Structure 1
């Protein structure tokens, strides 16, 4: 955050991030931080890292649409010069596993690509579409094998058929509040 301070009066910025900080409903705090600045007139840059020790329901680290409030002040004389509010989107990290029923198959043999999709905190992601792709050895172009939908426990499974050795990818494209992720596994055809 950059503050224009030609009179050299600003000494501190307080940041608060959370859900429903201004408005109806129960406010839920996600993170707070205060950072000070040295004396000196002109533009002051405040670099703030928000860390969250809070738990929001099943979220051990906040993600989604967060409101960030800033308050510019001089704590020496309790003067508040102003502040502002903005919304930011933090995407939750996701993990995917990819476990084929066999890593060595005969040409044309069916096998199952299975795995699970979860948030960083282990919460299963249900009803999400996971694409399964195949990249033959020696090439870079992926072929679409199909889509699996995750169960309430985050599990997915798709029957596939392998003709050539290569990488099989399980890919989740993400959402407005979840990061995309993929995992590749080598399947040998012999």
Structure 2
């Protein structure tokens, strides 16, 4: 039971950190835009390089937002096939196949993001105007995709558990 308790604490902590970081970034970006507009058009003193600085919170917000959508299972889906699938069991099988495919694609993208992360770490590029290391923005890709892969694996596991539970319920009803 200790393992489940520790996993639950870790899961909650990661989700809370993700929520706080996303909220902070959603406040920071409009403030930076407002500051830039105020300086440029009101005070006629543009702040050079703020666009470069805004790249970092934008990338982090985008990747954490994708991870958050994965966590909440609010993916953008077409859902046309589910209109034609009538049986409960067929929908469960469809969800499992969908989960396996999503996990495969997510693992593949995470692998490539790790490769890009390693490359970025070894090259250590800088922005043109301000001179900030691009690594801090590029590592967001790996962090976001790792989180998305974890959430996708959990979702697929839930689909499989529901499928097995459904089979057990059918067996109990038959007995």
Normalising to structure 2: TM-score of the pair?
0.22
Q: Which has the higher contact order (CA 8 A, sep 6+)?
A: 2
The structure with the greater share of residues assigned to helix is: 2
Question: Which of 1 and 2 has greater Rg?
Answer: 1
Normalising to structure 1: TM-score of the pair?
0.21
The structure with the greater share of residues assigned to strand is: 1
